[in-house]
Structure 1
Amino acid sequence: MEEGDRHWDLRGEGSQDSHPDSKEIDEAIAVYRQALAMTPDSLAVRWRLMRAIFFKGEYGTDDNERKKTIFDDGKAIGEEALRLIRKEASRRTGKSMDKAGPVDLGPVMSDSPDVVATFLWSSANWGEWAIAYGKFQAVRQGAATKIRDLAMAGSRMDPNYNEGGGYRILGRLYHQTPYVPFITGWASTKEAVVFLRRACEIGPHNFLNRLYLAEALWDLGRDSRKEAREVAEALIRDTPRPEFLIEDRWAREKAQKLIEATEKKN
């Protein structure tokens, strides 16, 4: 697993702008797969593999069919991880939790940081899977509720994980999820802003927290658009962090596109 982590830490090597060289992330995925084959019940290996798969699908390709294949894989690994968590929760409680959702499993597994990471990287892969296959189709298959429950459970267990990662995913979900009667009536840009402000309080220097807040503020309405521009402009002026080089460059590019779009509408 340590070798996989080493390749993960080098994922920005040889990159061009926000486009990574695939060498290091492919090596990380290969090593994590080998580790998983030897220790199939390890959540620590599973969430690291899901994290690497997410990175490859989100930043490593612009081809949507390729994204579908990548996130199909990440989603499946997360579903198997959920089965393992249910099995351990059943052992701890002495009763079957084979059908329990993440929110119910969280309190039982509250002492496990690997469960937090598993929930959040699973929700991230589900989220990108939904985008690749189409938001409305994904909503009808229950993806939005799945993402919400995983991220909610993770944020309750450890709100600080990944610089407010649970709140970041919830904010993005509430903002991007289309309204479908009786299925996603909970989705709301106003609630999205609340979640994303929490994420920014926890991780004020996180580029994705600020990007998603700026985008949600812009869509919230005219009264919040001045703040949206200010958040995006501050993000563009900021320097990408070496340990998140690809992610931060990507966020800056998106923030620049938001500013350009706002200028066209003004």
Structure 2
Amino acid sequence: MSALYVVKEIYIYPIKSLAGISCKSALAEEMGFENDRRWMLINTENLHVTQREYPVMSQFYPQISDGKISISFEDHKHEFSIDEHLPNKIETNVWDDKSDVFEVNETTSKWFSDRLGFECKLVKILKNGDRKHESSKSKEIFNVSLADGYPYLLVGTESLDFLNEKLDEKITVKRFRPNIVISTKIAHEEDDFKDFRIGEVEFRNIKPCGRCIMVNNDPQKAIVKKEPLKTLSKYRNVNNSVLFGTNIVSLNSGTIHVDDEVVF
């Protein structure tokens, strides 16, 4: 008899708001998967920039190999070392959370500035504890990377299938930028998960994820439409927050793989 809940897909997003990378396995750490949202772009006011303002960011495709991150955008390519950064600390915020980051290098910042058409810097968070996030629900404080709020986003397959039944133009799970996609039988049942284990790693569900206009950006075309947020808001609006997927944290470090069973 096959397991009811199985990992179907794993994603990391090395640079906040750029395209993700599909993985067969990933090392889970307190801050999130290894190399997941450890980098982000900031403007001249040291504020982070995302697809919300610049949908074209979805067209930048990263890859990781031999200790380097390479970025492809249209016919342009650039790469930098995972470990490199300049010595001067920059104080920035990810929403309400203060974070210490460091510019990768001036050449990389100029490459992104030239492609995007405005001055920006690529920065990196170096270590656990350089950004802390307080849960609005549990009031716990978590060490996180540069993700919007929590280290991991979990989505069940049936949640997407249920939504797609209502949409004229079907979408993929990439709209929601999950870290872990698992097979489910009931739409949004992942909202009610508590503690569970995948492979070597114990996870805890914190709260369902409120979604923003960014899910309306078609990542393959960088075109913002009205869906799926319009349809989701009709049946997933809770206290003026449109929910899809759930925010989770890891309780220990370890590796998870596609096809791992989810154990409760």
User: Per the shorter chain, which TM-score range?
Assistant: under 0.3
More strand by share: 2
User: Relative contact order: is structure 1 or structure 2 higher (C-alpha 8 Å, sep ≥ 6)?
Assistant: 2
Give the TM-score normalised by the residue count of structure 2.
0.25
TM-score, structure 1 length as denominator? Answer: 0.25
**Greater percentage in helix:** 1
